[in-house]
């Protein structure tokens, strides 16, 4: 599967991808990026088609506090 974005690309109009971190066995991809608006490092998760719905549900649960974690969800989309 070809990646829809890669190193150097800007995702969501603000997250500049700096490097690929890992691709899971399920083909979810994690990138390191810089939030160009707030000038901070972030991780970007590109979910596989098979996991997209579950990742979105989990992100919403984390963002609303319905589920606790050390992970902070900053954006979804």
Sign of CA dihedral 9, 12, 16, 19: negative
CA distance 48 to 19: 18
Mean pLDDT for the stretch of residues 51-64: 95
Mean pLDDT for the stretch of residues 37-61: 95
Helices and strands per DSSP (H, E), number in the chain: 1, 4
Give the list of residues 6+ apart from residue 77 with CB closer than 8 angstroms, or none. Answer: 12
Evaluate if residue 4 carries a pLDDT over 60.
Answer: yes
Q: What is the pLDDT of residue 14?
A: 95
pTM value is 0.85
| Residue 70: exposure state from Cβ atoms within 10 A (0-12, 13-18, ≥19) | exposed
């Amino acid at each position: 599967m070809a990646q829809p974005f890669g190193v150097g690309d800007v995702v969501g109009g603000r997250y500049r991808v700096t490097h690929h971190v890992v691709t899971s066995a399920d083909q979810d991809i994690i990138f390191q990026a810089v939030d160009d608006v707030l000038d901070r490092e972030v991780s970007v998760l590109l979910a596989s088609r098979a996991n997209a719905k579950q990742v979105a549900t989990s992100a919403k649960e984390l963002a609303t506090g319905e589920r606790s974690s050390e992970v902070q969800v900053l954006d979804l989309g």
